[in-house]
Structure 1
Amino acid sequence: MSQVAAVAEQERTVEDLTDRLSDYLDSSRINQVRRAYYYAEQAHEGQMRRSGERYITHPLAVATILADMRLDHQSLMAAMLHDVIEDTGIPKDALVEQFGDSVAELVDGVSKLTQIEFRTRAEAQAENFQKMTLAMARDIRVIIVKLADRLHNMRTLGPMPYEKRQRIATETLDIYAPIANRLGMHRVCTELEDLGFASLYPMRARYISKAVSKLRGSHREIIDDIRGRLEEKLQQRDLPGRILGREKHLNSIYNKMKFRHKSFHEIMDVYAFRIITDTEDDCYRILGAVHSLYKPLPGRFKDYIAMPKANGYQSLHTTLFGMHVNIEIQIRTEEMEQIANDGIAAHWMYKHEQSPVTSANQKRVDRWVQGLMEMRERADDSLEFIEHVKTDLFPDEVYVFTPRGKILELPSGATPVDFAYAIHTDIGNACVACRINRNLGSLSQTLQSGQTVEVITAPNARPNPAWLSFVVTAKARSSIRHALKAQRRTESVELGKTLLKKSLHGFGQKLSDLGQKQINAVVKHNQVANFDDLLGDIGLGNRMSYLIARQLVAGEPGAETSSLDVGKVPDDGEHKRGAVTIRGTEGLLVRFASCCKPIPGDPVVGVMDSGHGLVIHSDTCPRLPESTEDRAHLTHLKWAKDITDEFSVELRVELERQRGVIAEVASAVAVADGNIERINVEEQNARLSVVSLVVHVNGRRHLARVMRRIRNIRAVTHITRIRS
């Protein structure tokens, strides 16, 4: 095609766009869109796409996609100009002068999503998503323009090199399609998914597409017959409604075959129809009509009108059995249909009418974007942020009630802890128990739609690290991690202070006696921001308390070797006078070694584990160092006197095989106020058995009482405590 012909073709396309816009925009706004087009055309003059077309064809196509969604004139202008800042060197200020602040901000927002280069692909996706979140928070239209941009790029991906095609298709399926789904933009989402699938797996896509066409042809009569009966039933009841066939898209078919292990014919043997009507009331009347025509399948009815999905989707879903096949039917109003297809984009179409459906949809999106902003602030890095977000992008909802009757939508598999964090972060952090339908329930149990959940909180309660193994919402996961990091920080500083005090005691000094000048010099020497950071490092095991104490006592950190003997460690007596008292409930940074399983009363020492805090060992543990020099760096510990917590101990009991002897052992433990956690019986031979027993005791004396009770059983021949 010659340059003149290409320009003529372009003019025709601009006129086509103008005709579409005249359906819903006034002439002054259409002229602003045209002006943006001519400005972009001039800016991109001489630039070509890889396909050989003039570059301006791309912004024009993006604007046309948005026009089909009936988006506002500013979004269309931003679509025309979205590559101007990035590709032509025209500054944002020039766009402000020409088209105003709103349009310039939109263009700048879209441009920033793809500007930075990254070291790894995962980092690129994550960083882009962080920027996308900020852009969405400022103006949700940024992401709508970006989705239209990505859609046209996917439609014209062919001329790109193979590796770039694969990267763009993967990013589309991982990031852009799920965002479109979360914003309720079903039409864009399904096309992005199909284009991404076809690009990644071209042979599979062609095979499924051919199979679908072939099957559709052979089933035409059945489809027409069902449609005819549905139309007849609506006419009989005098109900308004147009009936559409619903096509299954390729990516959806492939995923069902791959992940749900369904055969192609199993998926395609379901006939899907959509009935579009006038009012919400008509939806329920049509539901009654179709149920009188074919029998509904139990458990397959869903009312998304009364309880919309998280992305604003509303419809009645029912599955019927008729003519020896399953028939899936969705029933919705025209406005629900528009919102199901275009999601948040439909908000601008209905804006002048102040529709309650679109305003509710807008609130949902605002809530979601606000949640993303909170997660972004809590995440340590962009990869952690995107890990949280990806979970949030694939929700299959359950609907549960607060005690006051408010409905909360949560992803499938959500637990009461997810529910608590969905209400408020502080409620999640303080959660200790829950009631489900007024009965006490487990915090880890999966919630079902229709349940009423009440969260029980306690002052000073803290999140449990074990919650991370079962929560499913991104908000819960990021909030727990954030709280645990803060808790870990507090505990590491406290433990570091305790250990430093103990080491200073060995040098005959107290922390309170040290001058601020001494402390500042040591902080500077160790290249940390402040004294708390230094204490935190000691508590985490990244620095030795003895060395920091020596630096503090020496006064001049660089000169401590001359004033003190490097090899000198305070003798054992000094260590014990400054022994650290432990209760066993110190939190995240004090844990008990699994190799020797110490309990209160056992002589114990602490080993600093770099980055993880203090590990408590029995002082006879074979894993402890043997040389005097290495043992000098162990932390000497003593138990607090008033410990009431329980500790697990494993016992090995050898006994003669007799009827009821296991019950006797269990009874003996109970009489001694012990609790059995686990019991395992191994047959040694025809006469003897070995019982492995894990019991809970609160100290060494309690353990002695339990063992004495077991030893008094006539059948028991030997009992020992297992340390490893």
Structure 2
Amino acid sequence: EKDLEAEKINAQVTGRQKHMWSIYQKMVTRGREFNDIYDLVGIRVLVDDVRDCYAVLGSIHARWNPIPGRFKDYIAMPKFNLYQSLHTTVIGPNGKAVEIQIRTHEMHRRAEYGIAAHWKYKLGSSANRRSDSPDMLWLKQLHDWQQETSDVGEFLDALRYDLRTPEVFVFTPKGSVIALPQGATPIDFAYAVHTEVGNRCVGAKVNGKLVSLEAPLSNGDVIEIVTNKGENASPSRDWLNFVKSQRARSKIKAWFSRERREEAIEAGRESMARQMRKTGLPIAKILAGQTLLQIAHEMNYPDIDSLYAAVGDGHVSSESVVEKVEHAIATDDATEFANLEIPTLTQVKKLEKRSVSGIIVEGVDDVLV
């Protein structure tokens, strides 16, 4: 604290002891002995801005020797859940290892209470609710995953995997940093850049050298993706065997699911058209009207394409759907006939009087023109 005061850094310094259960969990999950756990005692330093975080780090390393390999910069490269902080472990007083975390008050609030509470705190500022802010992009990514993963259990398992798995940090050719799960491949990188880049990926260069799409990436690698610009560019099912990130996996599955759906829609449409021709139904009239949409809703499908897809996948027979169409058309015709107005005797006589001065059609009686 005296060093920070001397450097005129406004900081709040607190100490913490690691709970025994937490120590035990780390020993079990990481396979370490008690003497290999460095963060039994920790110090947390909270400052006002990011610049002060690095100033505090320099001051700490100037006083105590850091342990090599124990420094992590989660400010420059946040974790998947947007956690940000500087972590360093130094040889402190009496030769004991001490872990130090350095972060801003805003980062600390997010780490302690979660991203939802962080939004709640900042709700008063419209500038912090922009759709392109990092936390909103993170939420959008989660939403996309949830929409593309039909199995809730699979979604939660994948989310836990991405949160717990160690990360590697790689770079785009323009120098942007992208965090990926450890063991990630160029395919994971391509989908992290953009969905279309992933779908069109045909090759990759790592640090200027061509590599296979299955090659694991390492920290600091510069990745360049080679894409196919043609209309028939598409991902491969084999990619699902080696991709590591949930984003890549869900995007690949979504592409094939969409492709299967389009094929099913086309097959269902053709099957129903054949069945309508067999029964002599007016196909053009039916397709132009609302009959099919009404039947789709009756069968709990949101639209006609979903009904076609169900027929194409074999979940519903075209015969049963066309039978419903026939019944609906017959009901509509009966209703239309019932609604016809039958003229009264007075109306008929008026028409007869009006026809006296009309046009006479030779050879045909009682015809009004």
Q: TM class by shorter-chain length?
A: 0.5 to 0.7
Aligned to 1:517: 277
Which of the numbers 329, 351, 357 marks the counterpart of 2:100?
Answer: 329
TM-score of the superposition, structure 1-length normalised?
0.35
Whichever residue aligns with residue 316 of structure 1, its letter is L
Whichever residue aligns with residue 71 of structure 2, its letter is F
Change (3 A) 1:488 1:280: closer
Which of the numbers 381, 405, 411 marks the counterpart of 2:175?
Answer: 405
Show CA shifts across 1:339-361 (max 9, x none).
33234323443455678xx6689
Does the aligned pair in 1 maintain the 2:38–2:99 contact within 8 Å? no
Change (3 A) 1:386 1:432: same
Show CA shifts across 1:13-61 (max 9, x none).
xxxxxxxxxxxxxxxxxxxxxxxxxxxxxxxxxxxxxxxxxxxxxxxxx
Runs of at least 5 residues in structure 2 that lack an aligned partner in the other structure = 282-305, 320-369
Change (3 A) 1:520 1:331: farther
Does the aligned pair in 1 maintain the 2:9–2:52 contact within 8 Å? yes
Which of the numbers 456, 467, 483 marks the counterpart of 2:226?
Answer: 456
C-alpha distance in 2, partners of 1:405/1:520?
A: 65
Show CA shifts across 1:34-89 (max 9, x none).
xxxxxxxxxxxxxxxxxxxxxxxxxxxxxxxxxxxxxxxxxxxxxxxxxxxxxxxx
Check if 1:427 corresponds to 2:197. Answer: yes
1:239 CA displacement: 4.0
Whichever residue aligns with residue 479 of structure 1, its letter is K
Change (3 A) 1:312 1:360: farther
Aligned to 1:671: none
Does the aligned pair in 2 maintain the 1:395–1:410 contact within 8 Å? no
SS in structure 2 of the partner of residue 435 of structure 1: strand
Does the aligned pair in 2 maintain the 1:270–1:325 contact within 8 Å? no
Change (3 A) 1:367 1:277: closer
Aligned to 1:439: 209
C-alpha distance in 2, partners of 1:397/1:297?
A: 20
1:391 CA displacement: 3.1
Check if 1:467 corresponds to 2:239. Answer: yes
Does the aligned pair in 1 maintain the 2:14–2:44 contact within 8 Å? yes
Does the aligned pair in 1 maintain the 2:48–2:104 contact within 8 Å? yes
1:464 CA displacement: 1.8
1:415 CA displacement: 2.1
Q: 1:466-545 to 2 correspondence within 5 Å?
A: 466-487=238-259, 516-518=276-278
Whichever residue aligns with residue 145 of structure 2, its letter is M
1:493 CA displacement: 9.6
1:278 CA displacement: 3.5
Q: 1:220-231 to 2 correspondence within 5 Å?
A: 231=1
Check if 1:276 corresponds to 2:46. Answer: yes
Show CA shifts across 1:618-673 (max 9, x none).
xxxxxxxxxxxxxxxxxxxxxxxxxxxxxxxxxxxxxxxxxxxxxxxxxxxxxxxx
SS in structure 2 of the partner of residue 296 of structure 1: coil
C-alpha distance in 2, partners of 1:238/1:515?
A: 84
User: How many residues end up aligned between the 2 structures?
Assistant: 289
Whichever residue aligns with residue 302 of structure 1, its letter is K
C-alpha distance in 1, partners of 2:279/2:66?
A: 77
Aligned to 1:418: 188
Show CA shifts across 1:417-470 (max 9, x none).
122222222222221111222322222223233322222221323222222122
Does the aligned pair in 1 maintain the 2:16–2:42 contact within 8 Å? yes
Does the aligned pair in 2 maintain the 1:312–1:361 contact within 8 Å? no
Does the aligned pair in 1 maintain the 2:38–2:97 contact within 8 Å? no
Runs of at least 5 residues in structure 1 that lack an aligned partner in the other structure = 1-230, 498-510, 522-528, 538-550, 552-724
Aligned to 1:349: 121
1:298 CA displacement: 2.2
C-alpha distance in 2, partners of 1:326/1:427?
A: 45
Whichever residue aligns with residue 91 of structure 2, its letter is F
C-alpha distance in 2, partners of 1:516/1:262?
A: 71
SS in structure 1 of the partner of residue 233 of structure 2: coil
Aligned to 2:346: none
TM-score of the superposition, structure 2-length normalised?
0.64
C-alpha distance in 2, partners of 1:379/1:519?
A: 40
Change (3 A) 1:478 1:530: same
Show CA shifts across 1:572-606 (max 9, x none).
xxxxxxxxxxxxxxxxxxxxxxxxxxxxxxxxxxx
Does the aligned pair in 2 maintain the 1:433–1:456 contact within 8 Å? yes
Q: 1:521-670 to 2 correspondence within 5 Å?
A: none
1:235 CA displacement: 4.6
Root mean square deviation, CA, Å: 4.1
Which of the numbers 3, 14, 25 marks the counterpart of 1:255?
Answer: 25
C-alpha distance in 1, partners of 2:131/2:70?
A: 25
Change (3 A) 1:306 1:384: closer
SS in structure 1 of the partner of residue 17 of structure 2: coil
Aligned to 1:377: 147
Change (3 A) 1:384 1:313: closer
C-alpha distance in 2, partners of 1:491/1:484?
A: 11
1:370 CA displacement: 1.9
SS in structure 1 of the partner of residue 164 of structure 2: coil
C-alpha distance in 2, partners of 1:489/1:353?
A: 43
Change (3 A) 1:260 1:392: closer
Whichever residue aligns with residue 194 of structure 2, its letter is H
Change (3 A) 1:380 1:334: closer
C-alpha distance in 2, partners of 1:452/1:362?
A: 25
Whichever residue aligns with residue 474 of structure 1, its letter is Q
Show CA shifts across 1:534-582 (max 9, x none).
7766xxxxxxxxxxxxx9xxxxxxxxxxxxxxxxxxxxxxxxxxxxxxx
C-alpha distance in 2, partners of 1:408/1:335?
A: 23
C-alpha distance in 2, partners of 1:447/1:519?
A: 61
Aligned to 2:69: 299
Show CA shifts across 1:466-509 (max 9, x none).
22122222221122122233445677899x99xxxxxxxxxxxx
Aligned to 2:111: 340
C-alpha distance in 2, partners of 1:453/1:424?
A: 14
Change (3 A) 1:391 1:442: same
Does the aligned pair in 1 maintain the 2:205–2:224 contact within 8 Å? yes
Change (3 A) 1:443 1:240: same
1:518 CA displacement: 3.6
C-alpha distance in 1, partners of 2:262/2:49?
A: 58
C-alpha distance in 1, partners of 2:217/2:150?
A: 30
1:260 CA displacement: 1.0
